[in-house]
């Protein structure tokens, strides 16, 4: 594997950094046709990590933080493969596979997104979208067909000479889908694939990275700062800079599991599902902070439900939402928790009272006097409380819906010796209380022998 780390230097930085007079002279030297073509000449505008390495390769992986320009690079690579010197002249590729996590995400990001194929195509080379066939057709006859990683079997039969795979590290059926795609890449003299993904630990991504025919380019979110809102960069850097989640989502680092981690990336990857079935019971669990001011710990708020059918060992839980709030006053986090109760139709609100005592329930009941409430008190350390819950994940008895990245980041830093992250694992604490309420305590009650009345 060949790797290239790229910083925030643009391919057009030499002209962008020149004086206005130099820039004007450069533009005046261009003919009208060259001026019209300039916005579509990606090699001129691209960041280094967005351009394919020049050495031989079969798979090019673009690793980057959120907003680093990965989608733009993938879409421009497809353009470079299918477009010829003129609108109707053939390019290097005639049939392209476009594979996303789902059909909807692939269509809205890879094709119709702000950095998708349709937005980038020159007017005379813009492909036609045939929704019934999930197909793009270019004026020169080249085609690109859309596929979902949720349906690997749909890749049986078609054949291609190029492929673009987006966010592969998130694919639920990653290995199977990638294997099927490899069998499809059998046309032309040099079939190739590009992968654009934020790095998350994934067995299939690790396996592809280890191949000698794989090349990579890499850039953090900051590399593309010229095309991102300043407020966005300031906020995410302030909140996540220096954290494990920030290293993954902003720096684009592929992280390994910590020594003694209670939850591994593989466990969490296997737990993810796209939807939950009808649930028997739903709870909202709260881990209140000691104080509510700027710089205080977050208030962990996690919503989870369970399907109770048969004995407890067959029950399956679903983590539905991480509604955690930051630097919140008691009234703010109490309202956030109660809104989560209403949003999910929860049966009970559970809150740890070690820090706030009776004040926790008082604050909640001032807003909603009738909410079903249960106070819980920690008698063991955080790691000791978390271990029985981690065992449920090892048994495959807990599922995660999408959108729980921050929670999963904290879970990956909870070790048998304690929390290895920054601050307090408020989200994990709330998760533990939710699953304690749904699974562990009811299971103990179920196993307890009934007293015989004499």
Distance from the Cα of residue 2 to its chain's centroid: 25
Q: What integer pLDDT is reported at residue 356 of this predicted model?
A: 63
SS (H, E, C) 283-311: EEEEECCCCCCCCCCCEEEEEEEEECCCC
- Closest alpha carbon to 267 in 398, 157, 166, 380: 398
Return d(Cα 263, Cα 101) in angstroms, integer.
Answer: 23
pLDDT digits (tens, 9 = 90+) for 163-209: 999 999 888 889 999 999 999 999 998 999 999 998 877 788 889 99
Return d(Cα 334, Cα 324) in angstroms, integer.
Answer: 11
Name residues whose C-beta falls within 8 Å of residue 239's C-beta, 6 or more positions apart in sequence. Answer: 326
pLDDT digits (tens, 9 = 90+) for 48-98: 888 888 888 999 999 888 888 899 999 999 999 999 989 999 999 999 999
Residue 445 in this model has a pLDDT that exceeds 60: no
CA 71-75-78 angle, to 5 degrees, is 145
Task: Name the percent of the chain lying above pLDDT 90.
Answer: 50
Higher pLDDT, 450 or 255: 255
How would you classify the pairing of strands 373-376 and 348-352? parallel
Alpha helices of 241-283 — where are they, by DSSP H?
244-249, 265-271
| Whether the model pTM is above 0.85 | no
Return d(Cα 283, Cα 272) in angstroms, integer.
Answer: 19
CA count, 13 A, side-chain hemisphere, 329: 3
Using DSSP, state whether 60 is helix, strand or coil. Answer: strand
Using DSSP, state whether 415 is helix, strand or coil. Answer: strand
Task: State the pLDDT confidence band at 138, using cuts at 50, 70 and 90.
Answer: very high
Structure token digits, residue 336: 């956030």
């Amino acid at each position: 594997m060949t790797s290239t780390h790229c910083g925030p230097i643009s391919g057009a930085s030499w002209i962008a950094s020149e004086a206005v007079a130099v820039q004007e002279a450069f533009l005046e030297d261009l003919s009208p046709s060259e001026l019209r073509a300039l916005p579509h000449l990606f090699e001129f505008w691209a960041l280094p990590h967005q351009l394919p390495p020049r050495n031989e390769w079969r798979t090019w992986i673009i690793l980057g933080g959120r907003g680093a320009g990965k989608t733009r690079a993938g879409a421009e690579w497809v353009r470079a493969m299918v477009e010829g010197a003129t609108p109707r002249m053939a390019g290097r590729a005639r049939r392209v596979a476009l594979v996303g996590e789902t059909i909807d995400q692939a269509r809205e990001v890879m094709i119709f997104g702000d950095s998708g194929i349709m937005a980038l195509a020159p007017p005379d080379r813009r492909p036609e979208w045939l929704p019934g066939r999930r197909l793009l057709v270019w004026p020169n006859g080249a085609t690109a067909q859309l596929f979902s990683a949720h349906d690997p079997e749909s890749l049986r039969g078609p054949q291609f000479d190029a492929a673009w795979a987006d966010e592969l590290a998130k694919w639920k059926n990653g290995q199977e889908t990638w294997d099927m795609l490899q069998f499809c890449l059998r046309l032309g003299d040099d079939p190739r694939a590009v992968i654009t993904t934020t790095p998350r630990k994934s067995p299939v991504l690790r396996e592809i990275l280890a191949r000698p025919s794989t090349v990579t380019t890499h850039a953090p979110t900051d590399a593309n700062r010229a095309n991102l809102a300043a407020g966005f960069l300031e906020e995410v850097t302030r909140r996540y800079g220096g954290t494990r989640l920030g290293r993954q989502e902003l720096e684009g680092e592929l992280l390994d599991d910590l020594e003694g981690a209670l939850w591994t990336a593989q466990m969490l990857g296997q737990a993810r599902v796209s939807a939950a079935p009808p649930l028997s019971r739903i709870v909202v669990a709260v881990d209140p902070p000691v104080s509510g001011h700027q710089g205080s710990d977050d208030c962990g708020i996690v919503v989870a439900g369970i399907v109770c059918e048969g004995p407890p060992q067959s029950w399956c839980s679903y983590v539905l939402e991480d509604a955690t709030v930051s630097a919140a006053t008691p009234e703010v986090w109490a309202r956030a928790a109660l809104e989560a109760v209403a949003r999910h139709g929860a049966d009970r609100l559970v809150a740890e009272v070690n820090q706030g005592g009776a004040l926790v329930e008082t604050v909640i009941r001032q807003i909603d006097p009738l909410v079903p409430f249960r106070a819980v008190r920690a008698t063991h350390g955080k790691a000791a409380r978390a271990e029985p819950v981690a065992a449920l994940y090892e048994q495959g008895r807990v599922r995660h819906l999408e959108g729980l990245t921050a929670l999963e980041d904290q879970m990956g830093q909870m070790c048998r010796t304690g929390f290895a992250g920054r601050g307090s694992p408020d989200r994990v604490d709330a998760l533990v209380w939710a699953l304690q309420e749904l699974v562990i305590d009811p299971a103990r009650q179920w196993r307890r022998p009934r007293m015989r009345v004499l």
